[in-house]
Structure 1
Amino acid sequence: MTLITSWVESANSADTDFPLNNLPYGVFSTDALEPRCGVAIGDMVLDVAALEEAGLITLSEDAVFDVPYWNDVMELGPDAWEALRARLVSMLSNGSADQAEVTPFLIAMDGVRLHMPLVVSEYTDFYAGRNHATNVGTMFRGAENALPPNWLHIPIGYNGRASTVVVSGTDITRPWGQLKAPDAEVPRFAPCRRLDIELEIGAIVGTSTDMGDRITVGQADKMIFGYVLLNDWSARDIQAWEYQPLGPFQAKAFATSISPWIVTRAALEPFRTSTPEREKDLLPYLREPGPMLYDIDLSVIMQPEGGKQEVIARTNYNEMYYSAAQQLTHHASSGCAMNAGDLLGSGTISGPEKSQRGSLLELSWGGKEPMTLSSGETRTFIEDGDTMILTGHAKGEGYRIGFGACEGTILPATPDNFDA
């Protein structure tokens, strides 16, 4: 697909994340406006709550855009999602008869504050990138036992905390936890010293299932409202002590950051690609009816306090072994009810080369191979004051579908308030 041109001139630039082909959904506010639903177009935000109030967009008998989340729109279902996108494209395309009426509802992007774009119902994180799983498994169990026996058969995941999913730009306080050195007899309670990121894509479930229901991969794909960049912040030293036998807990519960714009499945449709060839056949309920991944270039950027931004890794979402639709299908396969607003993290996205690794754990090989930045500083894990930024976009002909940035700055651990 080629660029769809718009009368919003900035949307026609090859450098914008938000051409008319994209139209991602977010929540914004200004000094004069309370948080409400908006759509990114070029360097502007379209106030769809005001458009609804003016009668220029109608999706339901009830107002759905005058709230600080997109959950109400999600629950209207795929037909309403399609109708909304068609109306927005019609309003914003070159030659639109609506231009004069719509222009007053555009607000400069640099004059708004962005908020969480949805109320996260529940959050599940997966471990579905083969390169990442192989690297981590090799570090801790050796190359011959890198992948658990179930890994090639099932999308492994764990239930995380929706309460600490935050929008890009939110500062992250270094967590405390139980740490145990290999030569220590007992653990100690202290701030995390091996703080990490995980480069992921988050899939947002748009429609619900009832307890006891199961879905196919094709049905699951249609249930996905859109995608965000996701950083599953990870305390590796806390995780090393606590994760056996039940997996991550406090090491992951302290923070997960997402980008502020939900990129719709429709916007990503031209960039579909297939999952890798299977080493072992999947059970029938997990087999895909067609391409279920997307060709999305991804970058990890580090910015030390007072320093410049530097790309430390580049990879692509097409490296995933299991798609979001397969993850959602497996999640519901037991009869687990899924809700509009559920967030599914893909798992760390790493490529086969060192420069394509989506975590510092991999980039520094467990801290044994420090990275040297252009400033001469070295890093094995994240230090206080460091800002970590994830970016991503799919490349079209003369345009790109971007997500905006997903970033967070690490603040020092709070003082110890516990008795010795």
Structure 2
Amino acid sequence: MPPFDLPEGDPFGPHNLPYGVFSRPGNPERTVGVRLGDHVLDAGAAARALGSPHAALLAAPTLHPLLAAGRPTWSQVRAALHAWVTDPAHRPVLEPLLHPLSSVTLHLPFEVADYVDFYASEHHARNVGQIFRPDAADSLTPNWKHLPIGYHGRSGTVVVSGTDVVRPAGQRKGPADPAPVFGPSVRLDIEAEVGFVVGTPSPMGSPVGLDDFRDHVFGLCLLNDWSARDIQAWEYVPLGPFLGKSFATSVSAWITPLEALDHARVAPPQRTHPLLPYLDDSAQEPAGYDLRISVAINGHVVSEPPFSTMYWTAAQQLAHMTVNGASLRTGDLYGSGTVSGPTERERGSLLELTWNGRDPLELPDDKRTFLEDGDVVTLSAWAPGPDGLRVSLGEVTGRIVAG
């Protein structure tokens, strides 16, 4: 099908236009691409051909220069791209610059600076509390309704969708084991998340307020924060996740700009505890997002977590992440934490879906408690767009291979 002849309602139409980085066969040079249907537009070449003042940003081998340019430039570039792909007069110039997705290689689209992972779903947090603290009076920890809990992860092992994930090894010790043993994880899990990508940096000592979220965050992507539950359980007291998380975090190849998701903005769940002023969003515009996520193992959908149920918003997470004066850097990535809804079919991890291995999942080929070598996990998602259209967030996929 010609690149401009999109099927009606294509979720990668001109209303979406996510950014990525690609290379072509026989040419290792990487460049910024914008997805249109099942094609990718060489954005740098298009900008040069059409005389755009932003050609240098779009011809870069990474999104980093565009991310650093700031919100006014983001809006100008997006408006120009939309005009280019919707004006028939530009088709003769653009058609040779549109390449079938099947013919290109997609790369990690930005240089990850720092990585932070949050724990923002009340349903997930309550499920985990009930699994590990079944006798507790409250399945949430005392701080959970007062601040977005998070931890600082490892940016060097963030990988693009399609990268194999090597089963990690480490220490593990079951409750009845006399001593820890070393070996490959036997409780390898997923975490269905959404990642937020920071563009505009901030100076050290200057917190970023709720009002400034859209001036600093460029867009979002799907994120799978792979988790070795057995390694994590033995190591995480008292300092939190380490080797059980740091071996791999997968992100989708496409970064959806926030402006493409304006029709998906929704109010977060009702707050049940008073919030301190820097987190109080009661007078703010709705900062939640109605994203519909799907989790598939070996092509079989096992869960559909709703992002609209997340108690803490990305704006609150950014405010909390910087309230102590921590600076932002271009390329910072922060994850929402596992997305889970109120029903069993909406849980975003195998830990919850199988209730820590007690209730195996029924797959067409076999049962699963945790991931086995050869398993392929794919997260996909869409959001409501303008005029009843859908905005696709693409997918993030990874295959487990033996260490």
The alignment's TM-score, normalised by the length of structure 2, stands at 0.96
Which residue is 2:104 aligned to?
A: 112
Alignment of 1:361 onto 2:357: no
Contact 1:167 1:259 in 2 (8 A): yes
Contact 2:24 2:103 in 1 (8 A): yes
Out of 363, 377, 380, which is 1:391 matched to? 380
Q: CA deviation at 1:56?
A: 3.2
Which residue is 2:323 aligned to?
A: 333
For residue 116 of structure 2, what is the amino acid of its counterpart? T
Distance in 2 separating the partners of 1:147 and 1:398: 38
Alignment of 1:299 onto 2:294: yes
Distance in 2 separating the partners of 1:208 and 1:96: 37
Distance in 1 separating the partners of 2:184 and 2:395: 27
- The 3-state SS of whatever aligns with 2:89 is coil
Which residue is 2:250 aligned to?
A: 257
Alignment of 1:87 onto 2:80: yes
Alignment of 1:280 onto 2:273: yes
Which residue is 1:418 aligned to?
A: none
Which residue is 1:159 aligned to?
A: 152
Out of 359, 364, 378, which is 2:367 matched to? 378
Distance in 2 separating the partners of 1:261 and 1:247: 30
Q: CA deviation at 1:110?
A: 1.4
Q: CA deviation at 1:405?
A: 1.3
Q: Deviation per CA, 1:175-205, whole angstroms, max 9, x where unpaired?
A: 0010012122221111000000000000001
Distance in 2 separating the partners of 1:28 and 1:399: 26
Cα RMSD after superposing both structures? 1.4
Query: Identity of paired residues, percent?
Result: 45
Q: CA deviation at 1:131?
A: 0.3
Aligned residue pairs total 397
Distance in 1 separating the partners of 2:364 and 2:32: 40
The aligned runs of 1:107-146 (5 Å cut-off) are 107-142=99-134, 144-146=137-139
- The 3-state SS of whatever aligns with 1:405 is strand
Which residue is 1:9 aligned to?
A: 5
- The 3-state SS of whatever aligns with 2:137 is helix
Distance in 1 separating the partners of 2:241 and 2:107: 27
Contact 2:3 2:37 in 1 (8 A): no
Distance in 1 separating the partners of 2:269 and 2:8: 33
Q: CA deviation at 1:316?
A: 1.3
Q: Deviation per CA, 1:195-232, whole angstroms, max 9, x where unpaired?
A: 00000000001110100001211102331100000000
Query: Residues 386 and 7 of structure 1: is their aligned pair in 2 closer, same or farther, counting only changes over 3 Å?
Result: closer
Contact 1:7 1:92 in 2 (8 A): no
Out of 303, 322, 335, which is 1:313 matched to? 303
Contact 1:13 1:19 in 2 (8 A): no
Q: CA deviation at 1:315?
A: 1.8
Which residue is 2:41 aligned to?
A: 46
For residue 330 of structure 1, what is the amino acid of its counterpart? H
- The 3-state SS of whatever aligns with 1:403 is strand
Gaps of 5+ in 1: 1-5, 304-308, 414-420
Q: Deviation per CA, 1:28-49, whole angstroms, max 9, x where unpaired?
A: 1111442110000111111012
Contact 1:29 1:36 in 2 (8 A): yes
For residue 173 of structure 2, what is the amino acid of its counterpart? K
For residue 304 of structure 2, what is the amino acid of its counterpart? R
Alignment of 1:192 onto 2:185: yes
The aligned runs of 1:30-41 (5 Å cut-off) are 30-33=24-27, 34-41=29-36
Distance in 2 separating the partners of 1:81 and 1:287: 28
Contact 1:48 1:57 in 2 (8 A): no
Q: CA deviation at 1:55?
A: 4.8
